[in-house]
Amino acid sequence: MKILGIETSCDETAVAIVDEQKNILSHVLNSQIELHKKFGGVVPELAARGHIEVLDELILQALKNANLKFENIDGFAATSGPGLIGGVIVGMMAAKTLASVYKKPFLAVNHLEGHALTARLTSDLQFPFLLLLISGGHCQILFARGVGNYEKLGETIDDALGEAFDKVAQMLGLPYPGGPSVEKLALIGDEKRFKFSKPLIDGAKHKDHLCDFSFSGLKTAVRREIEKLVGEDFSHLTTPQKINEKDQADICASFQRVVCEIVLNRLDNVQLLEKGAKKLIIAGGVAANRYIFSALQNWSKKYDIEVIAPPIALCTDNAVMVAWAGVEKMRLGLVDSLEFKPKARWELV
Ligand code: KG4
Ligand code: ZN
């Protein structure tokens, strides 16, 4: 069985073909980073138009690279939410059209489930497992029992983790996308210099939120430090160039250290729930962060848990995860109607 998957929910246009034997037959990806860079973030309308411009060509390229024809494809999958709705519609309509013309199933893939299932493509992973989903729009801890079968153990009550990375980068005047910029600069920074507090953890115990996250206060704490460093409200500055590289790097490193402490504290609390999972999968764009990954690996020794992250290129948005989620759904007969509506919001649980 060969599934063609399309990803257009944010700022990557991507098409991949994956088979049931876990072969990635092709993967083509066009990043819109250059398009959005000057705005410091993704502009939804530009993103949707950008997807339209390149998607047809990418689909043909993916087939060509795999040496296949449309007739050889057994199902057409597309991210059908959650995401920027204009982009989601572009990819979903393309997959539906192909499914209709070639009389093959259409598979509506939840983008989060795409991230969640990637590790089952790249390693021999069986259900159940713990899942730390950390992306630009989400921050959740889930217990995955099967395809479409998830229990939410914790989630952010405000910002997503990737969003926090992006905002810190923006405040420091670092290039978009923020996560990789912060990680890179943190390598040369002093992670002990700034003591940012940990929302939901420090101070009064928040008994109802033992496995939840909050990053908005952390972001404000970072802003205050920057204001102290530049000696004024830096939001009026066009470029916060008054911050020297050493200060920038120390902020990045301290921020990243606190983020890790928060994540590990929450995972400690998850262990108290005694779900009995022996594997922890990290997925989503922030899973590409090596500092967080190695902190998790150290943490895992305490609990005899194996931590697995997909290869970096498959942590951030891609179409391989969409095609693979399509394979997983198709095997279970979970095909979707052409009436399926695109969803800007679509929780896994
Ligand atoms: O999963 P993803 O590609 O898109 C969403 O579904 O949101 O995640 C993008 C997010 C962005 O916030 C980006 O800054 C963050 O993942 N990210 C990272 C790293 N690479 C990407 N955050 C921290 N460290 C990284 N190396
Ligand atoms: Zn994503």
pLDDT in tens, 70-88: 999 999 999 999 999 999 9
In 203-229, which positions are buried (b, 16+ CB within 10 angstroms) versus exposed (e)? eeeeeebbbbbbbebbbebbbebbeeb
- Give percent helix, percent strand, percent coil of the chain, each to the nearest 5: 45, 20, 35
Band of pLDDT at residue 235, cut at 50, 70 and 90: low
Ligand nearest to the CA of 139: 1
Class of 127-313 per CATH? alpha beta
Nearest alpha carbon to residue 29 among 1, 46, 50, 49: 50
* pLDDT higher than threshold 80 for residue 202: yes
Q: Is the CB of 137 under 6 A from ligand 1?
A: yes
Which residue ranges does the chain devote to CATH 3.30.420.40?
2-118+316-331, 127-313
Q: Is the CB of 321 under 6 A from ligand 1?
A: no
* Ligand 1 atom closest to 163 (CA): 12
Q: What is the mean pLDDT of residues 322-343?
A: 98
Q: What is the mean pLDDT of residues 59-78?
A: 98
Element (H, E) at 57: helix 44-66
Mutate to test the pocket of ligand 1, among 131, 286, 294 (most ligand atoms within 8 A of CB): 286
Q: Is the CB of 179 under 6 A from ligand 1?
A: yes
> What pTM value is reported for the model?
0.93
> What pLDDT, on the 0 to 100 scale, is given for residue 233?
65
Ligand nearest to the CA of 136: 1
> What pLDDT, on the 0 to 100 scale, is given for residue 227?
87
- Does the domain formed by 2-118+316-331 have CATH 3.30.420.40? yes
* pLDDT higher than threshold 70 for residue 237: no
Phi first, then psi: give them for residue 49, nearest 5 degrees: -65, -40
**Closest Cα to atom 23 of ligand 1:** 179
Kindly report, residue by residue over 276-310, the tens digit of the pLDDT: 889 999 999 999 999 999 999 999 999 989 999 99
Q: Is the CB of 289 under 6 A from ligand 1?
A: yes
DSSP state of 212: -
* pLDDT higher than threshold 60 for residue 28: yes
> What pLDDT, on the 0 to 100 scale, is given for residue 241?
60
> What pLDDT, on the 0 to 100 scale, is given for residue 212?
96
**Closest Cα to atom 10 of ligand 1:** 136
Q: Is the CB of 284 under 6 A from ligand 1?
A: yes
> What pLDDT, on the 0 to 100 scale, is given for residue 242?
75
Q: What is the mean pLDDT of residues 10-17?
A: 97
* pLDDT higher than threshold 80 for residue 232: no
Band of pLDDT at residue 118, cut at 50, 70 and 90: very high
* pLDDT higher than threshold 60 for residue 238: no
Q: Are the beta carbons of 80 and 88 closer than 8 angstroms?
A: yes
Band of pLDDT at residue 273, cut at 50, 70 and 90: confident
> What pLDDT, on the 0 to 100 scale, is given for residue 201?
87
* Ligand 1 atom closest to 136 (CA): 7
Q: Is the CB of 81 under 6 A from ligand 1?
A: no
